[in-house]
Structure 1
Amino acid sequence: MIPLSDIYFSRRSVRLRLVVRFWNTVRTLQAGLLFCLLAPQTLAADDALATRQQAARSDFAQKLDGLAKKCVELELLDQAKTTREWIIDRDPNRQYIFVPRQSDPTEPAEDAPRVVRQWHAKFRESLSDFAEQLFQIAKAYAESGDGTTAYQLLHEVAWHDPQHSQAKRALATSPSFSERISRRAGTRTHRDFGWLRRTYWQIESDHYRITTSHSAEAGVELARKLDLLHSVWRQVFFRYWSASESLAERMRGGNARLGKQKKLDVVLFRDRDEYVEQLQKHEPQIAMSLGYYLKGQQTAFFYAGDESVVPTWFHEATHQLFQEFGNAIDEVGETSNFWLAEGIAVYMESLIDFGGHCTLGGFDADRLQFARARALGGQFYMPLDEMVSLGREGLQKHEEIGRIYTQSAGIVHFLMDGQHGKYRRSLVDLVSLLYLGRVRSDSLPRLVDLPLAELDEAYTQFLAVRDDDLRFLNPPAHRRNLGLGRTSVSDAGAERLRGSEQLQWLDLSFTKITDKAISHLADASRLRQLNVEGTAVGDKAIASLAGLRKLEELDLSSTNVTDASLEQLSRFDKLKVLWLTNTSVSDAGIAKLARLTALELLEVSNTKVTAEGLKSLQEKLPKLNREQ
């Protein structure tokens, strides 16, 4: 394994200044190096602290459950709901990050009944007690050298108990949960974009300076989103921008600085047209992008009016955070591991805000779905020993660049969240090496202490999805793409797909589903692509799809559908691609598809359809183009 000293003390001037300032002796630096050599003992201590943390969470959940039951007895149903919802059912293969608020959302109104105020007092008492337990555990983590877990727990402490003075003090140099945002109209013509005075706005939050030509409201909303990302990024990548010994010192009452503090610059254009027009001089291919971070100007550029690009905001803002905090080199991954720069930014696109706490990752993260489909479907997988050897030029000129980027997202999700976060610390260290310019093609296997071939196998296992996993499926509003093909999902798991109004692509191919699973998709009115190849789906399932009138692509290959289904399918007037390979359909059945004027591809290999039957249909559907 690569000792931590190889990574952190490579930032020699920065780290030595911190050590001298906070410890004032060379002996302490030597102790820090000795700690790096005692990694096994540290891991054992972390295991003990993890057990202690789990016990505290279990006790806390039991207390709140008891309080909720008491509320039900007293017919305080709203309070019972609030109490129960405070307990988060955690997916072990997903990150939960807390962003404290300055106000208490559970505070009763002044004229609330006495019994409600009594509930609130008991509720806050339970939260404060639990917060203190977490603080002591965080302190132990910091002393053991795990600043990341300690830093995250401190934020959770402040989330449960906003008045916890010691946690607030420890986080004082990182006001990540402040809600201060100012706004003012521009007072002079903008020197770069030519906007006249009072036709653009300047927004300032704790972490960002945003200039926008859209509206003050749009700028403020962007600031809120980016401040959230900023807090989450700092918690996940604490090892990148700060040092555990600094946090431990603050928790002892010292005044150590945790790391660089600066405000980041962002421009939000009025719309996409203005975005392209203004940035073409810097990047000729800007029209192909949805957001852009210009390192030379240390500024991120976005455009307003399209909520679908918010993940891209997080992606480009992540590049900005890595470049502007720490001692990042200008061009990362020149000789190896360039995949990681994009993979880690794509991972941050999975951020979901639940109003107080956020999640990252998860089996249902949007960009992970395509990596799963390609790997498990045998469409594409580049062995890790080949991928890590690709530098910037080698990857950007590779003929499979798009698929490599997709796989990069999958690999980062695996290293971040697989096996309950087993490789998370190693991945953050790999990112540090990348941005310091010290990464090598053998850095990943050395950090995880495993041959890359074994990581390849572990990644494939990570991609598997079981019915139990769907218990943690994101809320319907966050389901756009879901690739479950070639997993062990059955009707029992598919039941959790109910209410997926935003779902656009769903792959259930070669799973254990039957017609019953398809009945749960009745609300998926925006579904455009559905793949159920190789399943026990039959004619009854097609009847269940009647309301999905936006379907453009449907794969029914190797299913039990018959000619009877094709009458139903003839009503899907937006259908462009239909796969019926290895089914029992015949000429009589496909003749019913003559109403599908948008149909461009019909695949009927290994069916009862004859060349004459297909030709007859092609004569009625001029867009249908299938080689004979």
Structure 2
Amino acid sequence: MILWLIPAVPSQVPADDTPITTPPPDTETHATGPSTATSTEQTKIDRVTAFIPLPPAADPPPLESPSQPLDAAGYQTADFATRADSPNPADEIWSAYIDLWKSHYKSPSQPELRSLFGFPVDADVLITDRRGRVAPSELNWRPGSFRVWQTDHFEILSQADDVSSRIVAEALEREYWVWTQIFFPIWSGRNQVAAIVRDWERENTSAADHLKSRSSPARLQHGQRHRVVLLADQESYRATITTAFRNTDTSAVAASTGFYSDTLRLSFFFPQPDLASLHHEICHQLFTEASANASRRRPTRGQTFATATTEDFWLIEGMAGYFESLRYEQSLAYVGGWESPRLQLARYQALIGGVPIASLEDLRGTRDDVQSKPDLARWYSQAALRTHYLMDNAGPTKRRGLLKQLADLYSQTKPNAETSPTSNDAANETNPAAILRALRVDDAHVTRNPAKGDLTTLCLAGCNLTSQGLSKQKPLHGLTWCDLSRLPLTDADVLRLIVDTQQLDQLSLEATQVTNQVTTLLRGANQLRELDLSYTAIDDSALKSIPPSVSTLWLTGTNLTDQAIDTLVALPRLQTIDLQRTTITERGLQRFRQLKPNCQLNPLNIPE
């Protein structure tokens, strides 16, 4: 049994965070779904649920029924996912903190709970703004050229418009509270919670009654606000990054869509619809600034953070990639799960591209080592994949160990620190086959874990899904990439799943059971750039529905004839097409080459 990073005795808060290192039994307490032929690993809940500030007039849906506990209803909070059936009193403090949030969810207008969290009486988040006067010297901003927006936990120096600034302010405050629930053992506010929930008999006393019984009102105190810079647009963002960090190589940072500087204690963003970069960088910022042993002061000259020198930098970035999956639905927050954005590319690479699962040795290296890798995108994908697996699929013991390792990393801040390889390799190494099984979701898993929130990317290619499992998934809006290759799905399945195609950039239905009827999906897909209908039953008549925006077209193994040539030639942006294993004759192909000489034809070179 591990005594977590908060006190073993709730009534006494120690000054250090030294845990007892006896490992807990490797048992799992996740609820499982109906009896199926699949393993428990494939049917358990694969994400955590967290709670967010709600306005007093909110009317959220019921969280659970009297006969159905929280986990059995398809919800799993972070404390439950990690505790491994532990009787540890420190875990009970975490659980009590989650219970406070559950009480707020069920009764958003309850005044003692609103006071505890510092919520305003008439809104979910208190936001103020004023004219900016003094900005950090690195920004070179004149007085009055920006506004300062403040919430309880953030200060935003903004040159963006008021609407965008307010959206970011609200998002930041929600993210803060979600982060505290998921990473409670690392959070600096955990000792305050320990004092507030002391002597709370949760079985007999409601949260509100416990708070009322205190001699003085309970309020979670916060220190200095976390600072965020919000630029007007991407061009301003790049210019600011280049200026603020002129003494370093800023090319990679300037090409990003968000950045946290641990030396300046500042995050940099610009308004954008997708908040993934915000989730990622704010996760870095909170680990650095809101951890129990964190310092909010700028580091001194020569001071080196263990997070920069550790050989386990994969965990630093992997956990931020995990937090990118934060999304909201019906007044709840979700993190992790098979639909996490970072898992979509990893799933494609592993199940379709045949890219092997990276070993821990492949991932290890310092920040400088990683940034010099030739295939940085693959490294980030594999780091996020391993972190997702350890957090969502490997069981509470692995998850617990990972959080302990993170706490150790963020508690080391020493001048000229040199961090040797950690002793966590055995705990973090896992069988690649287990990771592959977790990626290859099936009907039982999707039924148990339907996607939550809005998705922009979806790759289920190579999974063990059928129409039955996909029918449990809600229709999706706003997809930019969708890959359903090699699934036994019909026209009706695809048309039900994909509601609109206005933002769709890539669509792959290779080796599915779709016919010409699926082309009704392409109406209005004016942003579609790549389309794969290979090895489907479509014929010449389906091509008339292909939007003119398509530049890459895969039609291998379809029922096309020479009559399709004129329609294909008429596609104005077509640059690459594969027509092998169709009934198009060599004469038809030659005609295509003459009429479309700059288009790459049959690049796959499939052997006869």
Q: TM-score range by the shorter chain?
A: 0.7 to 0.9
Please say if 1:241 is aligned against 2:177.
Answer: no
Counterpart of 2:261, as a letter, is: L
Counterpart of 2:352, as a letter, is: G
* Residue number in structure 1 paired with 2:46: 93
* Residue number in structure 1 paired with 2:273: 307
C-alpha contact 1:214 1:269 (8 A) present in aligned 2: yes
CA RMSD of aligned residues (A): 4.3
Please say if 1:184 is aligned against 2:130.
Answer: yes
* Residue number in structure 2 paired with 1:482: 458
Quickly say closer, same or farther: Cα 1:614–1:348, change in 2 above 3 A.
same
Q: CA deviation at 1:458?
A: 1.7
Aligned partner (choices 492, 502, 507) of residue 530 of structure 1: 507
Please say if 1:157 is aligned against 2:103.
Answer: yes
Aligned partner (choices 369, 386, 389) of residue 414 of structure 1: 389
Please say if 1:37 is aligned against 2:12.
Answer: no
C-alpha contact 1:147 1:243 (8 A) present in aligned 2: no
Please say if 1:513 is aligned against 2:475.
Answer: no
Per-residue CA distance 1:47-81 (angstroms, 9 max, x = gap) = 5xx88xx9xxxxxxxxxxxxxxxxxxxxxxxxxxx
Q: CA deviation at 1:357?
A: 2.1
Per-residue CA distance 1:87-127 (angstroms, 9 max, x = gap) = xxx982121101243624249xxxxxxxxxxxx9xx99x99
* Residue number in structure 1 paired with 2:283: 318
* TM-score for the superposition, normalised by structure 1: 0.73
- What is the percentage of aligned positions where both structures have the same residue? 25
Q: Could you list the runs of 5+ residues in structure 1 that have no partner in the other structure?
A: 9-14, 55-89, 108-119
Q: CA deviation at 1:242?
A: 4.6
The 1-side partners of 2:442 and 2:512 are apart by 16
The 2-side partners of 1:422 and 1:190 are apart by 43
Quickly say closer, same or farther: Cα 1:478–1:33, change in 2 above 3 A.
closer
Q: CA deviation at 1:335?
A: 4.7
* Secondary structure of the structure 1 residue equivalent to 2:97: helix
Q: CA deviation at 1:442?
A: 4.7
Quickly say closer, same or farther: Cα 1:615–1:497, change in 2 above 3 A.
farther
C-alpha contact 1:195 1:213 (8 A) present in aligned 2: no
The 1-side partners of 2:195 and 2:109 are apart by 21
Report the number of matched residues.
539
The 2-side partners of 1:267 and 1:287 are apart by 14
- Pick which of 229-238 and 267-276 moved more: 267-276
* Residue number in structure 2 paired with 1:287: 254
C-alpha contact 2:188 2:290 (8 A) present in aligned 1: no
Quickly say closer, same or farther: Cα 1:225–1:355, change in 2 above 3 A.
farther
Aligned partner (choices 177, 181, 194) of residue 231 of structure 1: 177
Quickly say closer, same or farther: Cα 1:299–1:338, change in 2 above 3 A.
same
The 1-side partners of 2:13 and 2:238 are apart by 52
Quickly say closer, same or farther: Cα 1:142–1:164, change in 2 above 3 A.
farther
Please say if 1:371 is aligned against 2:346.
Answer: yes
Per-residue CA distance 1:385-417 (angstroms, 9 max, x = gap) = 333433333322222221121122222222222
* Residue number in structure 1 paired with 2:265: 298
Q: CA deviation at 1:616?
A: 1.4
Quickly say closer, same or farther: Cα 1:159–1:470, change in 2 above 3 A.
same
* Residue number in structure 1 paired with 2:467: 491
Aligned partner (choices 530, 533, 536) of residue 559 of structure 1: 536
Q: CA deviation at 1:514?
A: 2.6
Quickly say closer, same or farther: Cα 1:184–1:426, change in 2 above 3 A.
same
* Residue number in structure 2 paired with 1:145: 91
* Secondary structure of the structure 1 residue equivalent to 2:334: strand
The 1-side partners of 2:221 and 2:464 are apart by 46
C-alpha contact 2:480 2:504 (8 A) present in aligned 1: yes
* Secondary structure of the structure 2 residue equivalent to 1:605: coil
The 2-side partners of 1:350 and 1:227 are apart by 17
Counterpart of 2:528, as a letter, is: L
C-alpha contact 1:92 1:420 (8 A) present in aligned 2: no
Q: CA deviation at 1:420?
A: 6.7
* TM-score for the superposition, normalised by structure 2: 0.76
Counterpart of 2:390, as a letter, is: L
* Residue number in structure 2 paired with 1:615: 590
The 1-side partners of 2:135 and 2:430 are apart by 58
The 2-side partners of 1:156 and 1:355 are apart by 14
- Pick which of 141-150 and 93-102 moved more: 141-150
Greater gyration radius: 1
* Residue number in structure 2 paired with 1:270: 232
Please say if 1:581 is aligned against 2:551.
Answer: no
* Residue number in structure 2 paired with 1:603: 578
C-alpha contact 1:518 1:545 (8 A) present in aligned 2: no
Quickly say closer, same or farther: Cα 1:19–1:553, change in 2 above 3 A.
closer
Please say if 1:23 is aligned against 2:12.
Answer: yes
* Secondary structure of the structure 2 residue equivalent to 1:293: strand
Please say if 1:443 is aligned against 2:419.
Answer: no
Quickly say closer, same or farther: Cα 1:580–1:339, change in 2 above 3 A.
same
Q: CA deviation at 1:487?
A: 0.9
Counterpart of 2:481, as a letter, is: W
Counterpart of 1:491, as a letter, is: S
The 2-side partners of 1:474 and 1:298 are apart by 35
* Residue number in structure 2 paired with 1:594: 569
- Pick which of 316-325 and 378-387 moved more: 378-387
Q: CA deviation at 1:565?
A: 3.4
The 1-side partners of 2:400 and 2:172 are apart by 24
C-alpha contact 1:99 1:357 (8 A) present in aligned 2: yes
Quickly say closer, same or farther: Cα 1:25–1:385, change in 2 above 3 A.
closer
C-alpha contact 1:337 1:434 (8 A) present in aligned 2: no
Quickly say closer, same or farther: Cα 1:189–1:142, change in 2 above 3 A.
closer
Q: CA deviation at 1:179?
A: 2.7
Quickly say closer, same or farther: Cα 1:519–1:241, change in 2 above 3 A.
closer
Q: CA deviation at 1:418?
A: 1.9
Counterpart of 2:516, as a letter, is: D
Q: CA deviation at 1:167?
A: 6.7
* Residue number in structure 1 paired with 2:479: 503
The 2-side partners of 1:513 and 1:330 are apart by 50
* Residue number in structure 2 paired with 1:402: 377
The 2-side partners of 1:419 and 1:20 are apart by 29
Per-residue CA distance 1:249-291 (angstroms, 9 max, x = gap) = 4322599999984311111122222222222123432430111
C-alpha contact 1:242 1:258 (8 A) present in aligned 2: no
Per-residue CA distance 1:190-235 (angstroms, 9 max, x = gap) = 8554544444211221101111122444333322111111111111
Quickly say closer, same or farther: Cα 1:445–1:167, change in 2 above 3 A.
farther
User: Relative contact order: is structure 1 or structure 2 higher (C-alpha 8 Å, sep ≥ 6)?
Assistant: 2
C-alpha contact 2:9 2:89 (8 A) present in aligned 1: no
Q: CA deviation at 1:376?
A: 1.2
Quickly say closer, same or farther: Cα 1:441–1:296, change in 2 above 3 A.
closer
Counterpart of 1:265, as a letter, is: R
* Secondary structure of the structure 2 residue equivalent to 1:554: strand
Per-residue CA distance 1:507-548 (angstroms, 9 max, x = gap) = 111111133323334633432211122223333434554454
Quickly say closer, same or farther: Cα 1:222–1:526, change in 2 above 3 A.
closer
The 2-side partners of 1:213 and 1:543 are apart by 43
* Secondary structure of the structure 1 residue equivalent to 2:435: helix
C-alpha contact 1:509 1:531 (8 A) present in aligned 2: yes
C-alpha contact 2:443 2:465 (8 A) present in aligned 1: yes
The 1-side partners of 2:49 and 2:556 are apart by 43
Please say if 1:541 is aligned against 2:518.
Answer: yes
Counterpart of 1:529, as a letter, is: Q
Q: Could you list the runs of 5+ residues in structure 2 that have no partner in the other structure?
A: 33-42, 71-75, 200-213, 295-303, 413-418
Per-residue CA distance 1:416-436 (angstroms, 9 max, x = gap) = 222676633222223223334
The 2-side partners of 1:24 and 1:526 are apart by 52
Please say if 1:202 is aligned against 2:148.
Answer: yes
